[in-house]
Structure 1
Amino acid sequence: MNQPFNPPGYSQIGAGYQSGFHPQAGGYPNHPSMMNGSAPGIGQTAPWSRFIKGALIGAAATYLLTNEQVQRTAIKGIVQAWSFVQGSVEEMKERFGDAEAELRHTQQQREP
């Protein structure tokens, strides 16, 4: 009997894939090398590198929070940024007020 070739995991032509094999998905998704949808080493970091990264971030935070000169500089920077934001908001309010006054003036000129 002459039957068409069926690749592994494929029951019949047009019937779909069985046992989890899917070539477009990279093969067998339940295989240990494909757990979590990625091959080993892609997007994964060693536990010690996460520890070192956390330790460095913690050391930097401790330094910033305990150094008085750094605190003064940070506070000055925050105050300057806040002043800039407040000035920008006031400038925008003034521009909106000017635009509103222009519209009123234009409407009054149109009405006889």
Structure 2
Amino acid sequence: MKRLLIPTLFLCGSVLGADGASLFVSKGCASCHPPRRDGMGPSLEKIARAYSGKKEDLLRYLKGQGDAIVEPERAELMRIQLTMISDLSDEELSAIADFILSYK
């Protein structure tokens, strides 16, 4: 019974709430934003430090409504990439923001 309970709880959690890590990967964000070192874009750690205590600012940026505070010179390139998440709900964007901010 224990073997069935754990996978069932995992699946329920995925259905009931947005999983920021999975969304981050499935939308292609991880290919440019590695956890601890810069890649094609700034690392999750760098983004999390810059937006520490500023989740609403990060959400505005992810929605294409705010200015970049990390590597603003590359903002236009990122604006194009943000179209890949424009179909996400506020809950899903919040889950991605929480995932990113967990790297501070």
TM-score by length of 2: 0.23
TM-score by length of 1: 0.22
Task: Look at both structures and tell me which one has the larger radius of gyration over its CA atoms.
Answer: 1
Give the number of the structure with larger relative contact order, counting CA–CA contacts within 8 Å between residues 6 or more apart.
Answer: 2
